[in-house]
Amino acid sequence: MKPFLLFVFINLSVTFAYAQPQSTVGLITDHTGEPIPFASIYQTESNVGASANGEGVFRLTLPVGKHQLVASAVGYSPTTINIEVPSTDSIRIRLNKENYVLEEVVIGNGEDPAYEMIRKAIKKRKTHLNQSGPYTAQVYIKGLQRMLKAPKKFFGVDLDKVGREMGLDSNRRGIIYLSESESEITVDPPSHFKEEMISSKVSGSNRAFSFNRASDLQLNFYENHQPIFEGLSSRPFVSPIADNAFSYYEYKYLGSSEEAGLVINKIKVIPKRKAEPLYKGDIYIVEDEWRIYSVNLLLDNESSINIVDSLNIKQLFTPLDDEVWMPANTQLDFKVGILGFNVGGYFSAIYQDYELLGDVDPKLFREALRIEEDINKKNSDYWVDNRPIPLTEEESRDYVFKDSIRRRNESKEYLDSVDRESNKFKPLGFLTGGYSHSNRYKKEYFHFSSPITSLLYNTVEGLAINYGLSYSKEVDTTLNRYLNLSARVRYGFANERLNANATARIPVKKHDFTLSGGSDVVDLNPLQSLPFLFNTVTTLALGENYKKLYEKQFAAIAWSYTFPGNIRVSSGVDWESRHWLPNATDFTLWDRNRDKLTSNNPFTPETDVPVFDDHRAFKAHMSLSYDFSNRYETYPSGRRYLSSKYPRLTVKYTKGIKEVLGSDVDYDLVSASVYKSNIPLGMSGKLAFTIEAGTFLNNNQLFYPDFKHFNGNEILLVDQQLTSFLNLDYYQHRTKNSFLQAHTEYNLSGMLTSKVPLLRKLKLDEIIGLHYLHTSELNHYGEVHLGLQWKALRVMYSRSLSDQHVLDGKSAIRVGIKLF
């Protein structure tokens, strides 16, 4: 019996093994035998598919039996083969270059036939945009970045040593980022999208989550515009089949081919103008159905893009049924070159397991993204079985090498050795950039400020040093929360006054507490419109000492918390003992400028008369803000709400309480504001605005710092905010009554400058701003500014309009610099 039982067992085992899905590996090449990177391969009787890797190798898991496979790639004619699983023969699939026959098509007025095809595609755009209805799909994304070139040294840093730590070769070339992710997406076209990340793998880390996002690769050319990555362009990109595409593109018919009974037209897309957010390349349109078959489009410097030098977009569609076609894969290839570094890479997305749904509850899409804590814990066997793009040998080595580096880097011995090297004190570095001391194993960090950058100058203190040190320690790894302690010592060499203060920011679960106290020299205008650096320069160089100061002793406690629904609440109490300070020096770099200096009282510039008598103030304050956002992303650390299309509403209340801790103030100030930035206007740029209104319910007793102040400016340089008035005095126009201010700025995002040949390469943004202020003292005051912006720098012309003759018609040139 035993031999018989053994025979039965062996046969059952073999039968069971052959019944299981088998891995089929193959190679996709062109007619010359060269591999075709990232070609797609699908089983015809299902939407099970995969993609070749960068070397043309694919891996497809199929059940035992006969199967028909279709391989395709943008620019090649699809090929159908029949295979039987299992098979001992390796699969080799050859794709031929597309052969598009240029047929003679007669169109009136000699028009290229591509224009009529595009018209028909535009007419069907909305139909194809919404044709699928709600659906779900599985998305696999691989992201890779490779260093192509790097200098040997960069700002004194030995990049050969850094490169070895990163796994680069002796020429500082190799993979610097490799990640894979799987997500399940639920989509209700055109705007509802939800993603749940199922698994994540990042080379060199077992804690990080992949930067791959299906939402970033959800490019839909049936939409009029594609924003693509944030920061890639200040304006969205215009689809080749947008409703107004003929205003932006020219087209050329390149021929047609027949594939699976369909006639595919190849059309060349040509931008009409440079420095516009436009594609160049080819779009493939299905005859009669006028849907997109595939695209091969390029964005480069002529497309006015930022961050990268070029971005090549390939997208291939596959039919789910006779009516609905969906993306089979999306490939983004990019190149970046900056400061001697050249980086190339790609993001490749494979879409599988589409399922068309009926109605979907809109509440489902309130959660835009979900990432659970354990999704990066999947082992190697899981990824071998589930990744539809097999790893290349280089990628496999990168995972192994960087995993060993990670284990070494997490050891206490290694972290201590790194700390010993980085914690070495360097006198020159300390003078210019400060000194940092780290204990990476305990996640503790100390920083001592630079003595040079701590220096400042004003006529109240003369040369002063405002020296700081800080300490931080991670106290919650899951929530990525840190305890932060800081202290500053300030000494004025002219008035010989010493001040010191400290601040502690303490996280308790999702609550934030801040404790602070000590003494300091601060601006009379609590908005601090004039940065100390700018005041130092103008005082020494020009004799323009606009900044007015006073000294205070203080103690404060504050609390903030974000409630479910993205309602943020903060509150606190402050006690201050205030003392006005006179000027202590009239030194400037040139003696002729001394006569321009004014007193430390903005109302009596010739005489140092105190702005206020010494007094104490005890205040309680509370703020409530809500931006009407009901969409959020869920991470292991908690929810992060996404910006809403509606403005953020903020309500504030401050009460000055008399006789508490000797307080002399008695007032109630309430205000409400709405704010919204980056309002997209399509190809016309973007808009931002804010409106604030408020009143003092009582103003029985308050002192100058308690008044409502506004963001003024009187010098060439300005740290410009949306609420900045460019020609308004810093201190004159405060109020203790009702007020209303409104600000708006329109950024044309290069809409005009891109049409000027000498300017388009600079990628300048045109800026138009309007500002309005009403108080009982000032009545009506307004400003308009026009300017050009390059990155964080802008040059503007500003002009004032006012009921008051002294302010009306004032104009100035301002240079805006965003310091924060």
d(CA 575, CA 554): 5
d(CA 521, CA 533): 15
Place 1 in a pLDDT band, splitting at 50, 70 and 90: very low
Please report, as a single letter, which amino acid is at residue 134. P
Residue 263 DSSP code: E
Write out the E strands in 535-614. 549-563, 567-580
Q: Could you tell me the sign of the dihedral formed by the alpha carbons of 790, 791, 795, 798, in that order?
A: positive
Please report, as a single letter, which amino acid is at residue 183. S
What is the model's pLDDT at position 55? Answer: 87
State phi, psi for 414 to the nearest 5 degrees: -70, -45
What is the model's pLDDT at position 113? Answer: 94
DSSP string, 397-420: HHHHHHHHHHHHHTSHHHHHHHHH
456 has which bridge partners?
Answer: 464
Measure Cα distances from 630 to 92, 290, 366, 367, 626 in Å: 51, 37, 6, 8, 10
d(CA 397, CA 395): 5
Average pLDDT over residues 669-693: 95
569 has which bridge partners?
Answer: 561, 624
d(CA 31, CA 75): 13
Q: Say which range, 78-82, 142-146, 327-331, 494-498, has the weakest mean pLDDT.
A: 78-82
- The domains located in the chain, with CATH, are 20-94 (2.60.40.1120), 117-408 (no CATH), 454-672 (no CATH), 710-820 (no CATH)
The H helix count followed by the E strand count for the chain is 10, 43
Please provide the size of the chain in residues.
Answer: 820
Statement: residue 17 has pLDDT above 60:
no
Place 13 in a pLDDT band, splitting at 50, 70 and 90: very low
- Write the CB contacts of 2 (distance below 8 Å, at least 6 apart in sequence): none
Please give the model's pTM, rounded to 2 decimal places: 0.86
Going by DSSP bridges, is the β-strand pair 666-680/648-656 parallel, antiparallel, or unpaired? antiparallel
Round the average pLDDT of the chain to a whole number and report it: 89
Compute how many other C-beta atoms are within 10 angstroms of the C-beta atom of residue 374. Answer: 8
Where are the alpha helices (H) located in 642-732, listed in sequence order? none
Average pLDDT over residues 473-490: 90
What is the model's pLDDT at position 19? Answer: 42
User: What is the tens place of the pLDDT at every residue in 372-406?
Assistant: 888 888 888 899 888 888 899 999 999 988 888 88
Helix (H) or strand (E) holding 118: helix 113-123
Judged by DSSP in three states, 117 sits in helix
- Write the CB contacts of 430 (distance below 8 Å, at least 6 apart in sequence): 448, 450, 451
What is the model's pLDDT at position 480? Answer: 78
Please report, as a single letter, which amino acid is at residue 99. N
Average pLDDT over residues 76-101: 81
Statement: residue 67 has pLDDT above 80:
yes
- Write the CB contacts of 616 (distance below 8 Å, at least 6 apart in sequence): 575, 576, 577, 578, 661, 662, 663, 664, 665
Place 88 in a pLDDT band, splitting at 50, 70 and 90: low
Residue 391 DSSP code: P
Place 101 in a pLDDT band, splitting at 50, 70 and 90: confident
Q: In the numeric block, which tokens belong to residue 20? A: 């299981």
Question: Is 363 exposed, middle or buried (CB count within 10 Å of its CB: 0-12, 13-18, 19+)?
Answer: exposed
Contact 150, 340 (CB under 8 A): yes
User: What is the tens place of the pLDDT at every residue in 290-330?
Assistant: 999 999 999 998 888 888 999 999 999 988 887 899 999 99
